[in-house]
Structure 1
Amino acid sequence: MRTHPDESPPDSEIDGHSNSDHSNMYPDIDPAEHGPVGGPVNGPMRRIKVRDGIRVVAFTGTLLGHITSERPDSLHWTELSIYRKEDGLFIAHRVGVSCVAHRADCSAIEGKNLPAVADMKSDEFATEDRRPCPVCRPDIASEAAADPASIRGETDRHWVGICKDAFSLISALHTNRHGVRSLSGLASAALSQAAEHDAQIAAALNTELEV
């Protein structure tokens, strides 16, 4: 089970942290090839809790935009949400998502300390929703039932940016790859969606950038 980005799971469900290394698994996404999941919640302020690594970040705000790169057969994908706090600050929350399960002795996770799927937080994928690693190909349900510690799950990677204004938000969403600083397609799509609901973001996106 995964929580929609505008919901606030209990503290006990969001204090985990990813140990799997997905840093090179999320290519830039063409905004024309995907769209929002659920769309922005441009309504009253509400209490929201998200993860930032091992920390919990709690605030009162509203969801301006949410974009995902998930496809029907995805094993890994990225989700990006943009919020506005009641005091005007912007919050960006990016999640590198994985639904993969491995055998404990899988060569693909050698040296990584992944949790057993039976012990994972309830805002991660449940055992029955996991997909088998293409390397070790476990029979997840039956092997986990026979020995809960034998099946390990990749966990999500969470990042939060707290930004004082729209220009800082845009800057925070840039990535640096091989010395080239750029805005990914996923981030561009999320900002465009958020701009439909926030005049400050719209103005910042339409401001000429001097380099």
Structure 2
Amino acid sequence: MALRPGAGGAWGLRAEALEADGREEDAMHAQGRFETLTGHRLDHELPLDGGDPIGVDAFRAQLAGRSVCVVANGESMAASGLGAEIDAYDLVVRVDSFQTHREGTGERVDVHAVSHRSGGPGWRRRAHTRLVFAEQPAQWRAAIRGRLVAGAQSYVGDLSLSRPVRDPALIGEVRWAAEPTTAFTVARLLDHLDVNPRIDLFGFAVPGQLRAEERQWILGRARARDGLRLSLR
């Protein structure tokens, strides 16, 4: 995008230089100054009809007061017979390269949370909101440019939602692995925003869905467990 002359443009150039140098926190600060001075976003590089960018506040507003579930991938869910129950939630979240089966997983896709590393058909499935997770801004932008499918989503989480677990501006828990799993990231984000009367996770107690430390946190945080369902609220 063309930068405005003057102080705003200088901050934009500084943000790009800092990012290229690997100085992520300084780059994000410079980007914030650029946006304040110019009213433009450096990260608004979506393909034509790629959806509108949303930040933390707008995503929180989408969630507020609504029941939400996050559905794991895998054979245990496909054979679960929980499809109708899952589709009855106000919001259904799918992760990475998901597949849906009417009887087992349900079919709705309100939010698709996906790692920048994930390929597969999930990117092409219609979702109201798509959250793309990456630890580095350059990785996030590469996924936005290279994987996002025009017309497949109404909203796309912006850079402020790209690394919520470790980002000091949001949750800021650096003790987790350098790239937490997508499922844990979105579950931790929902728990942190704390605007849903009901947050249920389907299939994540099954070994192999999460890293050991992530699974331990989820099981310790859960208020109830019923078969394949863990309830955080």
TM-score, L = length of structure 2: 0.28
Which of the pair has the greater relative contact order for Cα pairs under 8 Å at 6+ separation? 1
Q: Which structure has the highest strand share of the two?
A: 1
Q: Which structure has the highest helix share of the two?
A: 2
